Structure formats: C-alpha cells, structure tokens
A = this chain, B = another copy of it.
Amino acid sequence: MTHSTHPFDDALALAPGAPDHFKGRTTPGYWNMVGPYGGITAATLLQAVLRHPLLLGEPLSLTVNYAAAVEEGPFTVQATPVRTNRSTQHWMVTAEQVNAAGDPAVTTTATVITAARRETWGVSDIPMPAVPGPAECQQTSPMFPSEWFNRYEMRAISGEIPAQWDDSGHSSLTQLWLRDAPARALDFPALAAMCDVFYPRVWLRRARRVPAGTVSITSYFHAGSALLAQTGSGYLLAQARAQEFRNGFFDQSAQLWNEAGKLLATSHQIVYYKE
C-alpha cells in the first residue's frame, strides 16, 4: 500500500489467476474482532465480479453467506457467470482459504446479479426520514477497539450503542450519517460494505452485549453508477431496525440514502446471537 492508496482499495486488491479465480488477502485496515469486517468481505466478493472480463451490467443484488471466519492471510475468490441474459447476469461466488490441514475450505459464498438499468417510471415508497443534517450530529467515537470502525466517519442520529449494558433497551432502530474515512468517492463495493455497518441490533434492543455475528446479508442496489457519482464522497443516511429476535437469530432491515434523499440501497441480514 502506497500513501496514495485508500485502505478500502488496498483491501479490495485482487490478482487474477486461473479463469474465474482471483487472489486476495486480508488487510489490517478493516480488521474486526476475530476476522475481517463482514462488509469488506462482501465488498471483496462483489469486486471479483466487477473485475471479471465477462461482466455485463451493474450490480443489482448481492447475497453473502458467512460460512466461516476468514483468517488473517491469503484467500481465493472464484466468481462464475452461470447465466447471461439480455438484461441480467447471474453469478455464483465462493471464497476459500487453505485450512490447517492444508486443504482449501469455503469461508464465504455469494450470489450476485448484475443488470442493465433502463429509464422507467419510478417512485420511492420509503422517503428519507426527517433528521438533522450531518453537521448537526456529533461524530461517534469508535464503539470498541476494532480497527474497521476507524474506516468510517459516523455521526449518530439515534440508536447509538448503549452507554450502559443494563437491560434497559426498548427499540432496535439506529440512524446515522456515514461516510468512508478518509473520504472516498462512493462505488458499488463501498456501498455493499456500508450495508453491513450497523452494530448488532440485539445489543441495542436488550442493552446487553452478547456474542453476535452476521450469518447472511442480502443487499439490493437501487442506484446506478451515475447516481453513485453524484453522491461522491458525501454522507449517507443509514438506518437499520430488527424485525424478529428468536431462538438465537434475528433479522435486520436497513436502508441507505444519500444526503439528497435518494435511496441508494436496501439491505437485510440474518444474525446469530447467543443467550
């Protein structure tokens, strides 16, 4: 990494190998507690599709399944276009690492759909909530000592991480302003990563910190590259809430708007929790 390379681009560096194969490695810049930040893994798998010579269209849908913790070190991403239609292309993606026994083992799976966007009728059925602007919201100090938190500038609106773990929680809603730190022009991998930026809803809903981790995330991109370019390095309004907590798993719905009020992505995930 040179001084001119953004940590995000450093993390997403992939070297083409055999057909459909790309070699990458974890970087310290997005390290979480026991592996890379899930958002950077999602972004990396999407990046393999975007780097593929047969790519048509732009990302529409991304599902990432976290099958195992990614260990520090190298990994291989395989991205295969399994079906190409006139306006959509379907991809299957896996990431593998060599395990302690010396065998390749799947750590992550994904499916991606890329598509051609067309001018059509359109409307938003979920307008951006009325909230104070980023300048009026205080910057959040890192919530816990995971390096990836330093890669985002977060300005809290509501639903900050509880100051006390006293079982007093009553809502699962978090709203914040968000951008890369240092600032970076928004692209699809960055947006994919940001969809996973929320700390576990179960911590907020219970005001209790329990082990939790994303099992699967699906993000739908409503923005095309022109809208991403318009958004540039501006703030996004990011909102997440849970729907159901039961038997060790909860789901989360999230929306991300740009500051001009355009909905860029909607995202959902299912999360493991303990106790």
Contact = CB atoms under 8 A, between A and B. Distances in A.
A86 to B, nearest CB: 11
Interface string A18-46: 00000000000000000000000000000
Nearest to A255: B243
Contacts of A215: 60-61, 88, 113, 115
A228 interface: no
A223 to B, nearest CB: 8
A117 to B, nearest CB: 4
Nearest to A117: B247
Interface stretch (A2-10, A123-131, A151-159, A176-184): A123-131
A174 interface: no
A94 B82 CA distance: 10
Interface string A233-261: 00000000111111111010101000000
A266 B247 contact: no
A137 interface: no
B270 A61 contact: yes
Nearest to A119: B247
Interface of A: 60-61, 63, 65, 67-68, 82-83, 85, 87-88, 90, 92, 94, 105-107, 109-111, 113, 115, 117-126, 171-172, 205-206, 215-216, 218, 220, 222, 224, 241-249, 251, 253, 255, 263, 266, 268, 270, 272-275
